């Protein structure tokens, strides 16, 4: 009897970049996100630092202007003698002076969040086919799609948070009124129940629109079209998108904590001797201050380093989820394989034929 070999095994999916071009597993998505971050860390960190630096500069400038405008009123409000109260016009002037700074802070945080949300979709299309992205190319792509991504962030946040805002708008005044006996006594219970009901709805809506930034960047769609497209892609895959994206956030927090730990230990090692001597009357106050300064600097550097990863990793996971959903539903893998395969290469070769049996 002839000895037959093993059956034909189809070739493994090509992997020109950070993921195999096939439906992805959880490990493929998380591993691909780590690989994309490692290959493009300079550009990712550069863009995140630039966004944070611009935001800090604008807010600092606004606060500085507000302080300069009402500087003479600080003493009238805070430097009071026993029994004295600040004049209403002085307090109101201070509050009004810092309102623009607070508004600017909210605007910069929102725009910064939208810019960072566009990072993953700007990196992953290149990383999937084995190419890296430069700082300039990443910045230009994120900036060019910022209005659409900002619109998706704002509108998705408004839609997802709408039920919760409605509950608070209705129940919170009743809770305040019930505190002095003029409102219904069960208002607080109604508020708690309303929150418990609305949280799952908000999570469902947020997950439904979570791929909208990737759609806006990768497909060039506007805000409303990107939200509709995201809802279409997430349909029938909601639990998978929710679970993997949530896992991505937890992984980012855990890795960020690990990154920050060495800086915390170094800071504590520098500050602990001076802290033990702080109760001694003969202790040098300069040494105590120096130890505290080293501790604060280490904590700040560790927080910055961990924050860079915590900001940059989740958008990569969401962008890979977008690619995975399109591979599963729209056969995107064929287009990606075609983009990475020479035109003269045969991509559809049939499996080898089984050997003919021996003739008697």
* pLDDT exceeds 50 at position 125: yes
The average pLDDT across 329-352 equals: 66
* pLDDT exceeds 60 at position 3: no
Q: Distance between CA 263 and CA 297 in Å, rounded?
A: 9
The average pLDDT across 124-128 equals: 93
* pLDDT exceeds 80 at position 65: yes
The DSSP line for 116-181 is HHTHHHHHHHHHHTT----HHHHHHHHHHTHHHHHHHHHHHHHHHHHHHHHHHHHHHHHHHHHHTT
Give the side-chain half-sphere CA count within 13 A for 66: 18
Of 246, 211, 203, 238, give the one whose Cα is nearest residue 227: 211
Of 150, 120, 141, 146, give the one whose Cα is nearest residue 245: 120
> Is 226:148 a contact under the CB 8 Å cutoff?
yes
Neighbours of 275 (CB within 10 A): 15
pLDDT cut 70: percent of the chain above it:
81
End-to-end CA distance of the chain: 11
* pLDDT exceeds 90 at position 34: yes
CA-to-CA dists, residue 158 to 134, 200, 253, 314, 318, angstroms: 33, 15, 25, 21, 20
User: What pLDDT was estimated at residue 359?
Assistant: 43
User: What pLDDT was estimated at residue 345?
Assistant: 47
Report the SS3 class of residue 237. Answer: coil
Q: How confident is the model at residue 7 (pLDDT cuts 50, 70, 90)?
A: low
* pLDDT exceeds 50 at position 15: yes
Express each pLDDT in 228-276 by its tens digit.
999 999 999 999 999 999 999 999 999 999 999 999 998 888 777 766 6
pLDDT cut 90: percent of the chain above it:
51
User: What pLDDT was estimated at residue 203?
Assistant: 95
pLDDT averaged over every residue in the chain? 84
The average pLDDT across 38-60 equals: 93
Among the listed ranges 13-22, 74-83, 145-154, 201-210, which one has the minimum average pLDDT value?
74-83
* pLDDT exceeds 80 at position 61: yes
Q: Which two tokens stand for residue 347?
A: 């991509």
229 against 278, higher pLDDT: 229
Q: What are phi and psi of 275, to 5 degrees?
A: -70, -35
CA dihedral 127, 129, 135, 138 (to 10 degrees): -90
Q: At what angle do helices 135-144 and 119-128 cross, to 10 degrees?
A: 130
* pLDDT exceeds 60 at position 106: yes
The average pLDDT across 148-160 equals: 95
* pLDDT exceeds 60 at position 331: yes
Residue with tokens 């969401």: 318
Express each pLDDT in 155-211 by its tens digit.
999 999 988 888 888 777 777 776 665 556 677 787 788 888 889 999 999 999 999
Residue 2: DSSP 8-state: P
The average pLDDT across 272-297 equals: 71
Q: Distance between CA 323 and CA 316 in Å, rounded?
A: 11
Q: Which two tokens stand for residue 10?
A: 């189809």
The average pLDDT across 94-123 equals: 89
Of 33, 46, 205, give the one whose Cα is nearest residue 139: 46
Q: Which H, E and C letters describe 30-89, residue by residue? A: HHHHHHHHHHCHHHHHHHHHHHHHHHHHHHHHHHHHHHHHCHHHHHHHHCCCCCCCCCHH
Q: Model-level pTM? A: 0.83
């Amino acid at each position: 009897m002839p000895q037959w070999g093993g059956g034909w095994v189809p070739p493994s999916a090509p992997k020109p970049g950070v993921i195999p071009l096939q439906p992805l597993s959880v490990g493929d998505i998380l591993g691909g996100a780590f690989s994309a971050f490692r290959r493009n860390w300079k550009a990712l960190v550069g863009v995140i630092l630039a966004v944070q630096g611009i935001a800090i500069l604008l807010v600092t400038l606004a606060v500085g202007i507000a302080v300069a405008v009402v500087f003479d009123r600080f003493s009238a409000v805070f430097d009071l003698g026993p029994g004295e109260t600040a004049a209403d016009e002085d307090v109101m002037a201070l509050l009004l002076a810092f309102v623009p700074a607070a508004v600017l802070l909210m605007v910069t945080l929102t725009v910064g969040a939208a810019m960072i949300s566009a990072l993953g979709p700007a990196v992953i299309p290149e990383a999937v086919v084995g190419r890296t992205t430069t700082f300039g190319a990443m910045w230009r792509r994120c900036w060019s799609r910022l209005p659409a991504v900002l619109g998706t962030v704002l509108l998705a946040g408004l839609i997802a948070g709408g039920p919760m805002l409605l509950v608070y708008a209705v129940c919170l005044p009743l809770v305040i009124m019930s505190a002095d006996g003029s409102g219904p006594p069960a208002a607080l219970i109604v508020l708690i129940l309303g929150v418990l009901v609305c949280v799952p709805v908000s999570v469902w809506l947020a997950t439904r629109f979570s791929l909208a930034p990737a759609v806006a960047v990768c497909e060039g769609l506007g805000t409303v079209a990107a939200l509709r497209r995201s809802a279409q892609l997430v349909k029938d895959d909601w639990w998978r998108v929710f679970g993997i994206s949530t896992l991505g956030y937890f992984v980012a927090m855990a890795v960020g904590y690990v990154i920050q730990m060495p800086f915390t230990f170094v800071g504590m090692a520098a500050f602990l001797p001076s802290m033990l001597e702080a109760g001694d009357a003969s202790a040098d106050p300069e040494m105590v201050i120096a130890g505290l300064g080293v501790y604060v600097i280490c904590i700040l550097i560790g927080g910055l380093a961990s924050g860079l990863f915590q900001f940059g990793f989740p958008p990569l996971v969401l962008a890979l989820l977008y690619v995975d959903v399109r591979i599963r539903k729209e056969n995107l893998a064929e287009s990606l394989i075609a983009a990475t395969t020479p035109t003269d290469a045969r991509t559809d070769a049939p499996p080898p034929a089984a050997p003919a049996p021996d003739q008697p």
